[in-house]
Amino acid sequence: MPKLKWAGIIRGEAGALQQGVPLPGDAVKMAMPASMGEMMKKAAVFLPLPLTVLLGAMFVKTYLSGQVVVQPVFTVLGFCASVPALLLHELLHALPYPKTAVVHIGLVPQAMAAVVLVSHPLGRGRFIFMSLLPTILGIVPIALFLCFPPDWTAWNGFFFGFAAMGLVSPYPDLYNVFQVLRQTPRRCQIQFWGDDTYYFMGESL
């Protein structure tokens, strides 16, 4: 478990919180969007994937049962309950880092988002795992939605609403994983530094 530090409200100093383990001289900067806003726009191409999962799950359950399977008010309640879980989303990003890493967690009001900021190398596979780990906040509730009886409309609605946020919110992480797979060699190390992402060959600390 890494060392967690609460950064509070983050306005312009995000990059300063990602200057931990020094980068080696052969580190290569990845071609990534220059700002969070630009990254969110480019990552939007991955939004159809979670939306397809959500709509597909609703269609299959409704078609097989031949009845309405959710109460809309509970769907809204489930979605609202998932908003505080965005902090848990960030904590899940932190878990794969070693205990020597220092992880800052804070809120970025202008992006209406919680963020985790850490500058510590991870192996390529572990970095991908770190990026995708928060998707369990969508996978588990959508699985419960599919498994519960059709006439449990309140619970079905709640977990469908919760799954909506849990599956959609990681779409920027899907973009990051795509870029890692596209730009980096196998068995490399990946590290955030400042506002950028770098890769290099060698052992992680």
pLDDT, one tens digit per residue, over 113-127 is: 788 899 999 999 999
In a domain, 23, yes or no: no
In a domain, 137, yes or no: yes
In a domain, 95, yes or no: yes
Quote the CA–CA distance of 176 and 96 in Å, as a whole number: 16
In a domain, 69, yes or no: yes
In a domain, 125, yes or no: yes
3 state SS of 87: helix
Q: Which domain holds residue 176?
A: 47-201
Q: Is residue 111 over pLDDT 70? A: no
| Contact between 2 and 94 (Cβ < 8 Å) | yes
Is the pTM higher than 0.95? The answer reads: no
In a domain, 16, yes or no: no
| Phi, psi of 15, deg, nearest 5 | -60, -35
In a domain, 107, yes or no: yes
More reliable by pLDDT, 8 or 26: 26
In a domain, 186, yes or no: yes
- pLDDT tens digits for range 26-56: 999 999 987 777 888 999 999 999 999 999 9
Provide the domain count of the chain.
1
Beta strands in the chain (DSSP E): 3-9, 28-29, 102-108, 113-117, 122-123, 188-193, 196-201
